[in-house]
Structures are given as C-alpha cells and as structure tokens.
Amino acid sequence: MGNRASGLHVRIRQVAPIPIDADLRCGPGEVLALVGPSGSGKSTILRCIAGLHAPADGRITCGSEVWFDGEAGVRRSAGMRRVGLVFQSYALFPHLTALDNVREGMDDPDAASARGAARALLARVNLSGLEHRLPRQLSAGQQQRVAMARALARDPAVLLLDEPFSAVDRVTREKLYGELAGLRRDLNMPVILVTHDLDEAVMLADAMTLVSHGRTLQYGTPLEVMHRPVSAEVARLVGLRNVFAGSILAHDRQRGSTFVAWEGHRLEVALRDRIPIGTRVSWAVPSSGVLLMARDRPAGPLDNLIEARVGRLVHLGDQVRVVAWVDNEVSRPMSLAVPRHLAERYALAEGASLRLRLRGDAIHLMPGE
C-alpha cells in the first residue's frame, strides 16, 4: 500500500475506440463528480481508472503508485490497483448471498475473520439482518448498498461510483444520498462519482469535472462550474440557455463596469478590464438573472433593459417558463422563469410585449466561440 497522501492523478489520451482527452485529479477524502451527458465517455474514464480498460496513452497514478503509464508500458491489473467500484447495474454475484458478495471483495475471503468483517461492513451500510439474502431477494436500494459494502471491503485506495443512484426511485435516492454523506466522513480516500445529474453533483461533491465527447472541459466546485463556465460549450452543458455572442465595447473602471455590444444593445456587466476592447466574447445569463421589469420602475445600476415579445409559455407547477423574442427577433430567444402570481399580474400571454431586465452582475463573460 503506497503513500496515498497526494491522491489520484489521471491523464488519458486515446482516439479509438472512443476518443478521450481527459485530465482529472482527486485528493484523499475528496468527492469528485464526473458529470456529462450520456455517451460523453465518463464511464470509459472510470473504467480506465479501475483498470478494466487500458487507454492508448496517458498516465494514472494514485499516491506514489503508478497504475498506468502509456510511455513506460506500465499497466497494473484491476485487482492490483485496489479500487472499489460500484457498477451502474451493481454487478453483484447473483448466486452468492449478500454476506458472501462482500466477502469476495476482501483480500482473503476465506480467512476466519472474513465473515465477521463482512457482517460489520453490511451493518455500516445499514443492511444488518439481510446477510443471507440473495441479490434477487433484495430491493434496488439494498443491492446498491451491498455493492457499496463490497467495494469498501478491501479498504480501497480509490472509490469509484458509476451512476450508482440512477436505477433507484427518488425517495430511495434521497435516502442513499444521506447515507453516502454519512459514509464520507469515515472515508479518507479519493471518491469519484460519475453522474449525469447536476443537482446530484451539487449535493454530494466537493469538486466537479465536466466531460463532453471524451474531453474534460472544466474543473471546479459544482457551483463555480455552473455559474462561471469557462466556455459557451460548458455553459450549455450546465444548463444555461441564454448564451449569446457579443464583443467588448469599453471599460469604465470608475463605474466598475464593462460594456458589451450585442445586437445593437449596450449591455453593462461587472468590470472585466483584462479583456481587450473589441474582443469577441460569449456571454451568458441564467434564467434567474432575467427578470420582468415594471414599466413604471426606474432602472438600477447594472440593469440592462430589453424589449421583447413573449414567444412561448409553459406552465410548470407554480412557475411559468417563458421564452421571449428579444427585439421581437426569433433569433434572439431569452429564457426566464416567472412565478405564477407575477405572470398573472402582468397578464402574460403569447405575443404580449415585455420589458426584461438583465442583471449585469449575473451576466457571465466567456471567450468567443
């Protein structure tokens, strides 16, 4: 068991069978969410870390151990890496009891102490009393816990979770989130959680890496990545709908603002004076930064007023999702969410004209596409 202090470092490059260009790191005790849409290669990256797939090139180290090195020709087998992996389908051994499933995860499953240790692990994941059940006699949530216990049985150097909550209903999922959070306190190993659910990442992870088409695009805390995406592509991946192209007009240091030109508008945003004037930029504003503006109210600082016409309305519970055409141009759709009572007050209907207020401090600038 090597020194685990410096955590997991991953670099993977390959072209086939799936193109991957990924860089990751995760420290001991840290939970890193690996987030991306289906088919983005996150599972493949996880399998490379686990040792189930050897990438064409790259380097994977954990602590002082080198698990994979494309140049030096090092490739440690999955068993030798001591990873704990919870598969999306759990992959429990269907003919073994929960207890035996966990036992097989240990270094010496036939040792006299193995049964007791397995029992203790099952107790830790709240499955006491179910040791002698077969997987098909357990619910999905219970199977997931057995898979977790089995992954932990070996005191792994790294814990890998491949969309472990996707096959479970919402209520159970909430429960499992709580249990994972509880387990976390005792785990002092890097934990990588693959998920396509951003909310899950926000809830469970310390850091997040966004993956798309095999490329790792951004690393940071989940909130950072969601609110300060580094590119328009990331912005769209984290769910920002209002992404547009503009250019830098001017900086006003005294005012603390930068001015961005967009389709004839002059938008005032928080100062970013390092960007040269004239640079083409992408800018994004979350739906929460787009507000209805009463005609009689005066505009505040960093308020950008825009005229628009309601294009589409979708009632979703107590919210109304609105897509408005800015300047009545269908090519400039702006998404916003309006509480129902407000929508009623303003008598929002398709085709109605609107005045929108874009909050300049919510506008985020990124390099131009």
Partner 1 sequence: MDWPALLLSLELAGATIAVLLPAGIWLGRALAWRQFRGKALVESLLALPLILPPTVLGFYLLVAMGGASGLGRAYSAMTGRTLTFSFEGLLVASVVFNVPFAVQPIQRAFEAVAPEVREAALVCGMSRWRLLRRIEIPLAWPGILSAAVLMFAHTLGEFGVVLMVGGNIPGETRTIAIAIYDRVQAFDTGAAGVMSAILLFVSLGAITLSYLTASRFGGLRRG
List residues near partner 1 by CB under 8 A. 50-52, 77-80, 82-85, 87, 89, 91-95, 104-105, 107, 134-137, 150, 153-154
Q: Which is nearer to partner 1, 133 or 227 (CB)?
A: 133
Smallest separation, CB 209 to partner 1 (Å):
22
CB of 79 to partner 1, least distance (A): 4
How near is the Cβ of 104 to partner 1 at its closest, in Å?
Answer: 5
Provide, rounded to whole angstroms, the least separation between the CB of residue 136 and partner 1: 3
**CB closer to partner 1, 78 vs 202:** 78
Residue 53 vs 251, nearer CB to partner 1: 53
Query: Would you say 160 or 290 has its CB closer to partner 1?
Result: 160
In terms of CB distance, is 7 or 156 closer to partner 1?
A: 156
3-state secondary structure the chain: CCCCCCCEEEEEEECCCCCEEEEEEECCCCEEEEECCCCCCHHHHHHHHHCCCCCCEEEEEECCEEEEECCCCEECCHHHHCEEEECCCCCCCCCCCHHHHHHHCCCCCCCCCHHHHHHHHHHHCCCCCCCCCCHHHCCHHHHHHHHHHHHHCCCCCEEEEECCCCCCCHHHHHHHHHHHHHHHCCCCCCEEEEECCHHHHHHHCCEEEEEECCEEEEEECHHHHHHCCCCHHHHHHCCCCCEEEEEEEEEECCCCEEEEEECCEEEEEECCCCCCCCCEEEEECCHHHEEECCCCCCCCCCEEEEEEEEEEEEEECCEEEEEEEECCCCCCEEEEEEEHHHHHHCCCCCCCEEEEEEEHHHCEEEECC
CB of 81 to partner 1, least distance (A): 8
For residues 106 and 363, which CB has a smaller minimum distance to partner 1 in the complex? Answer: 106
CB of 1 to partner 1, least distance (A): 13
